[in-house]
Amino acid sequence: MRLGALVATDLDGTLLDRETYGFAPARPAIDALRRAGVPLVLCSSKTQAEMEPLAAAIGVRGPLVVENGGAIVASSGAVLVLGVTRDRLLGELPGVAREAGVRARSFAEMSVAEVASLTGLPEDQAVLAMRREYDEPFVVEDPPGRDPEVDARLDRAARARGLRVTRGGRLHHLTGPVDKGEALRAITRAAPADGDVIGLGDAANDLPLLLAVTRPIVMPRSDGTVD
């Protein structure tokens, strides 16, 4: 099957409001894409458990790129795993943090209440966010402040182990050697697009997605800045 145009979008801070996680302002665009027969591919660090009900509410059937490219969920429910297991990520994270010279605290070490407070999600949604399989979010607890070299040190340490670290809007993420762009390329190889492939994102972990499309669109933050 070949497609015409295709739109791939990040969720938090892009299709979804950064603070409320609502998508009402995007509804006219979503409806216009549906009327035009243009597929909308949701690409996020969110889990399958989070994204499936959200996709149903938005009216998107799939495919879904979950956990920063860790897997692709087809409209049939079939899952193509691209990443590595969470057990491996949790086993490697202490060494990655130590080599980067920081202290890291992962989702696996947090309570539901802590994840809800950190992300701004209601607790029932935080429960779904904690059902990780291929991506482990974490916070850098020390050194304090925003050291611009921390991200690079973390990623170097991860890549030495065959993994990657990227930064989303609120958190760092440890993943396998995958990203949103590679997942999107897998989708377009299976169903090539004859028209434009448009990508939207707002954070550093969206850069691979933006590099994989013909028309990348960076979404600014509310103060006009970009990551």
State the sign of the Cα–Cα–Cα–Cα dihedral 136, 142, 148, 154: negative
Annotation says 202 is catalytic: no
Scored b (16 or more CB within 10 A) or e, 55-93 reads beebebebbbbbbbbbbbbeeeeeeeebbbebebbbebb
Q: Using CA atoms, how far apart are residues 167 and 192, in angstroms rounded to an integer?
A: 29
Joined together, the tokens standing for residue 61 give 């059937």
Q: How many CB atoms lie within 10 A of CB 40?
A: 21
Report which DSSP code applies to 121.
-
- Are 97 and 135 contacting, i.e. CB atoms less than 8 angstroms apart? no
Of the candidates 10, 135, 155, 206, the residue annotated as catalytic is 10
CB 75 within 8 A of CB 66: no
Reported in sequence order, the residue ranges of the chain that DSSP labels E, i.e. its strands, are 6-9, 40-43, 64-66, 71-73, 79-81, 103-106, 135-142, 164-167, 172-175, 197-201, 215-218
Residues marked as catalytic:
10
